[in-house]
Amino acid sequence: MKHNYTAQFSKIIITFILSMVFLAIPHISAKADVKLNDSVITQKEATGKSITFTFTPVDNGKYYKMLYSTDQVNWKEDDTRYMRAATAKIYLLEPATTYYIKVCTYNDINTEDITSESKPYALITGPDYVKNIEQVSSSTDSVTISWTPDAWADGYYVYRGSVEQGNIVCDVTNNSATLTGLKESDYESRSNYSYYVVSYKRITDSYTATSIRSDVFYAYVNPKKVTNLKEEEWLATTNEAHIKWDEQAYSSGYEIQILNIKDKVIKNDNIEFSSHTTYKFKNKSVKATGFIFRIRPYRTEYNKNLYGEWNEIVCVPSPKITKLKKSGTNSAVLKWNEVKGAKNYTIYAMSYAGNGKVSKKKVAKVGSKTTKYTIKNLSGCGSGYYRTIYFYVQANKVKVKGKKYNSYFEYMWYYNYKKIDY
């Protein structure tokens, strides 16, 4: 049998050539059906605990998941899955840390076997959240706060208002800020005196990473000075002085000092309720010379007292009437004790004029050394409605701390004239 060696040899040559061509074609693995090697990852946002970024999706990629690492050796898989999403966010990260992120695709939702992955991109989390905020000083319209500094942060935003609708009121580079334009009436709405701080890091010229917000801090201003402070009465007969003032509604209480006219403190006291607006004081050491009453409101916050300014009044004693005796049918003798430092004295008479009205008449003014006076016209001192007349003596221009003061008026009931016509 004659063989056609030429034809067989030709077949062998063709087969060899085809096998070489086949081997020259690149092998396509199961992980190469989608390519992400050229994906672009762009950081859009970061806090101290999270990173938000966008990536270029692949048209034929079904699902995406993320791998992240701090050393590009030990990779962790994020729990979130995406369907053709272009934005991703990874949570529960450490602040001020560089993370390497890879975007991976997979087609089988059961096995989640990775079919392709991008190259790693370096992204940075924001600074740590601000800690230990405290109020370090305050006035009636401002508060200075400070916090633990973060060496990695470039600066801090201070927000005022609720967490959902806060507005930036300060942008500072150090770890303190002074909040201005505050007032006590802000307490009527909590958001008006609520603050929180966010630290930030400038990653690029166009991108700034921030921390998560701090705990909310409440700023409290100092109470305003007590107003309408006055000596309500100081009875020479009992030596008890009554002091009164208007309530400071936003305070917790009042600190009180009693001083002699040489400015030496002789008593300290405290009132723990702002609605308590009177004070009674009795001390023999100031009976003849007078005293200084000093008061300031305080508000207790964060276990500290925030004090308002001092307000004070000088109280000089009224001359104590020691004698008021009739010396004739229409006359009487009036005597009183001397008040040290008085330039002169004024004698007044008071009587009731009916219809709730009071008649007050000036009887005489006498010198500083005079402590006795004869009233020669009693009927002329009354109102003609009731025959009871009250007399009191005022000490004038008593010098205390370089200023001059008059004593508080005190009247004294004396005598019913009965049938005496005026």
Q: What is the mean pLDDT of residues 242-266?
A: 93
Rounded distance between C-alpha atoms, residue 410 and residue 393, angstroms: 7
Lowest mean per-residue pLDDT among 29-33, 62-66, 298-302: 29-33
pLDDT of residue 21: 38
Residues 99 and 150 reside in one and the same domain: no
Instruction: Kindly tell me if the per-residue pLDDT of 131 is higher than 50.
Output: yes
- Is residue 303 classed as helix, strand or coil in its secondary structure? coil
Residues 349 and 394 reside in one and the same domain: yes
Residues 308 and 325 reside in one and the same domain: no
- Across the chain, what does the average pLDDT equal? 83
Lowest mean per-residue pLDDT among 80-94, 268-282, 342-356: 342-356
pLDDT of residue 59: 59
Q: Is residue 236 part of a domain?
A: yes
pLDDT of residue 88: 92
pLDDT of residue 320: 82
Instruction: Kindly tell me if the per-residue pLDDT of 227 is higher than 90.
Output: yes
Q: Is residue 368 part of a domain?
A: yes
pLDDT of residue 76: 96
Residues 141 and 110 reside in one and the same domain: no
pLDDT of residue 419: 28
Q: Is residue 13 part of a domain?
A: no
pLDDT of residue 409: 63
Residues 183 and 251 reside in one and the same domain: no
* 171-197 tens-digit pLDDT: 999 999 999 999 998 888 888 899 999
pLDDT of residue 31: 37
Decide: 52 and 87 in contact? Cβ < 8 Å.
Answer: yes
Band (237; pLDDT cuts 50, 70, 90):
low
| Boundary residue ending a domain (100, 124, 148) | 124
Residues 213 and 159 reside in one and the same domain: yes
Decide: 226 and 310 in contact? Cβ < 8 Å.
Answer: no
Residues 188 and 241 reside in one and the same domain: no
Lowest mean per-residue pLDDT among 67-71, 76-80, 326-330, 381-385: 381-385
Residues 92 and 176 reside in one and the same domain: no
* 345-357 tens-digit pLDDT: 999 888 777 777 7
Residues 337 and 286 reside in one and the same domain: no
The C-alpha angle with vertex 8 and arms to 6 and 11, in degrees rounded to 5, equals 110
Backbone angles phi, psi at 77, to 5 degrees: -105, 125
Q: What is the mean pLDDT of residues 319-342?
A: 86
pLDDT of residue 196: 96
Residues 189 and 265 reside in one and the same domain: no
Residues 344 and 290 reside in one and the same domain: no
Band (83; pLDDT cuts 50, 70, 90):
confident
pLDDT of residue 412: 42
| Boundary residue ending a domain (253, 284, 315) | 315
Q: Is residue 250 part of a domain?
A: yes
Task: Decide which of 19 and 212 is more confident.
Answer: 212
pLDDT of residue 28: 30
- Say which CATH number the domain at 156 has: 2.60.40.10
**Helices and strands (H and E) in the chain: how many:** 1, 33
Instruction: Kindly tell me if the per-residue pLDDT of 208 is higher than 60.
Output: yes
Instruction: Kindly tell me if the per-residue pLDDT of 383 is higher than 90.
Output: no
Residues 262 and 286 reside in one and the same domain: yes
Instruction: Kindly tell me if the per-residue pLDDT of 29 is higher than 60.
Output: no
Q: What is the mean pLDDT of residues 152-172?
A: 92
pLDDT of residue 36: 56
Short-list 235, 236, 254, CA closest to 245: 254
DSSP states along 40-88: -EEEEEE-SS-EEEEE---TT--EEEEEEESSSSS-EE-S--BSS-SEE
pLDDT of residue 420: 29
- Burial class for 7, CB neighbours closer than 10 Å (0-12, 13-18, 19+): exposed
Band (34; pLDDT cuts 50, 70, 90):
very low
| Domain range enclosing 331 | 321-416
pLDDT of residue 366: 96
Band (2; pLDDT cuts 50, 70, 90):
very low
In one-letter notation, the amino acid at residue 133 is I
pLDDT of residue 194: 94
| Boundary residue ending a domain (124, 150, 174) | 124
Q: Is residue 295 part of a domain?
A: yes
* 59-79 tens-digit pLDDT: 566 789 999 999 999 999 999
Q: Is residue 6 part of a domain?
A: no
Please count the structural domains in the chain: 4
The percentage of the chain sitting over the pLDDT mark of 70, rounded to a whole number, equals 84
Instruction: Kindly tell me if the per-residue pLDDT of 30 is higher than 90.
Output: no
The beta strands (E) that lie in 277-356 are given as: 278-282, 291-301, 304-307, 311-315, 321-328, 331-336, 344-354
Q: Is residue 18 part of a domain?
A: no
Lowest mean per-residue pLDDT among 265-269, 337-341, 355-359: 355-359
